[in-house]
Chains A and B, each alone.
Chain A
Amino acid sequence: MNSIWHIIVTSTPQIVAAGLKYTIPIAIISFILGLIFAILTALIKLSPRHGWFSILKAIAYFYVWLFRSTPLLVQLFIVYFGLPYLKISGIFPNGIQLDPWTAGIATFSLNTGAYCAETIRASILSIPQGQWEAAYSIGMTKTQVLRRIILPQAARVSLPPLSNSFISLVKDTSLAASITIIEMFEVSQQIAAQNYQPLVMYALVAALYAVLCSILSWLQGYLEKRTSRYIKPIN
């Protein structure tokens, strides 16, 4: 028992350090980029179909379809191991070589962006038509209506499902181990390979993911309360 306790005490700081250095920054940066992709994609998918917008719409539909229809692990492999072989003379004569950090963030953000795009699109559609009409009737432009009236309300609606996506993403960053990023799961694998205690090590890293995600759940609750101040409480 003593030896297990010793393993936990000595390994935890190493795993937490990897979390602070890789897991958390990758998750946060990917999610912020993902949200930007998601908002743009949602707005394009909601825009009227005319002129060059039809091309953008086709791209948006293809993007969401592509990233939701293929496994994240496979996407990571294609971007990190596959793209170096995409040799196009004149443009990429040596293939597209991305360092693990860039490949990871690019894949995670595009993947989460595809899911969040649907969340944000649904949230925008959930705001009653009367809100658009009222804002138009005081002379606002479409951009002003979106920015001032619709998106703030849609943000509140989308908070729970977006939190879901973020929590998923935090755990999915463990896949980055497969493209040589030494994040939490990779560190625990390396330690397990040395001390031959896979059960202890993987249970420990699972517990640390759980702690991280519990903090995020609590944060979600706090944000939901803050953004719902204008809603009549339902008893």
Chain B
Amino acid sequence: MIKLENVNKTFGDHPALADINTEFKEHQTTVIVGPSGSGKSTLLRSLNLLEHPESGQYHFDDETIDFSKPITSKTVLELRRKTGMVFQDYNLFPHLTVVKNVMEGPIQVLKQSSADAKKTALDLLDKVGLADKAESFPSQLSGGQQQRVAIARSLAMNPEYILLDEPTSALDPELEAGVLRVLLELAQEKDSMIIVTHNLEFARAVADKILFVENGKILFDGTPAEFFKQPTQRIADFLAAMTFTTISDKAES
């Protein structure tokens, strides 16, 4: 289980994370929502130490990291081994074929044999529906396909948690659906996932728990049912602003 206690981070004089306290349970999907610039991505990126908060405690299973102290590179590497990351703009390695993108971590980091890594990689590519693209280069794939490869790449490391930072924000709706189907499947297999997204439909369908973040603070931490059925005024405004009906209502009045 992942647990954060009193985590703070500032960029200049802008508080990106303000006294964050929450838990991410295993085999659950947590969805983080909130307006742009609210600190959602910073929160997610702190979990694999791409960001380094200034203070607070980070518990990962039995391990505890104190953000106010220097973190050894050994701790950083161990933690990153246990978390996979999927980025908004995929960040596939353009000079490697699709299958080699997926094999890179297992071979270089887990020291698997090339044959083992390839077998796992092909299985994972099959799972995300891209077995036939194994020998293509990323530039030959659509955005949605690239993102599914990125998911396969993070799964290849067999992480305890998969962190996804707006995985479908750069995609048009049709390609987005293909990626969301893969994520839904992972959620149903009870993988532990933490997803930052703007897609509330998807959040409703997949989340075991929702975090609503604004100005670096967690304003809501609970189930999707509560979030959508009994929202606070701020969340109700946020939900209304995210749907088209209110815009067309205003246009008519």
Asked if A138 and B50 make an inter-chain contact with CB atoms under 8 angstroms apart, the answer reads no
Q: Which residues on the A side are within 8 Å of B73 (C-beta)?
A: 141
Taking the closest CB of chain A, its distance from the CB of B42, in whole angstroms, is: 13
1/0 contact string of B44-67 vs chain A (CB within 8 Å): 000010100000000000000000
Residue B77, interface by CB 8 Å: yes
Residue B133, interface by CB 8 Å: no
With A148-B104, A153-B94, A229-B137 as contacts: A139 and B81 at CB distance below 8 Å: yes
Residue A53, interface by CB 8 Å: no
With A230-B139, A231-B139, A232-B139 as contacts: A137 and B154 at CB distance below 8 Å: yes
> Secondary structure at chain B's binding surface: helix, strand, loop or mixed?
mixed
Residue A71, interface by CB 8 Å: no
Partner of A140, one of B105, B153, B154: B105
Contact residue range for chain A?
A: 20 to 34
Partner of B80, one of A136, A149, A230, A231: A136
Residue A82, interface by CB 8 Å: no
The interface on chain B, measured as residues whose beta carbon lies within 8 A of the other chain's beta carbons, has a size of 29
Given contacts A230-B95, A231-B139, 9 further A-B contacts (CB under 8 A): A133-B50, A137-B87, A140-B105, A140-B109, A144-B108, A144-B109, A149-B93, A229-B137, A230-B139
Contacts from A to B (Cβ < 8 Å): 128, 130-131, 133-141, 144, 148-149, 152-153, 156, 229-232
Closest A-B pairs by Cβ, 10 of them? A138-B105, A137-B85, A134-B91, A130-B91, A232-B139, A139-B109, A230-B137, A139-B81, A139-B80, A230-B95
Can you give 30 contacting A-B residue pairs, CB < 8 Å?
A: A130-B87, A130-B89, A131-B93, A133-B50, A133-B91, A134-B87, A134-B91, A134-B150, A135-B93, A137-B50, A137-B80, A137-B83, A138-B80, A138-B105, A138-B153, A138-B154, A139-B77, A139-B80, A140-B105, A140-B108, A148-B108, A149-B93, A153-B94, A153-B95, A156-B95, A230-B94, A230-B137, A230-B139, A231-B94, A232-B139
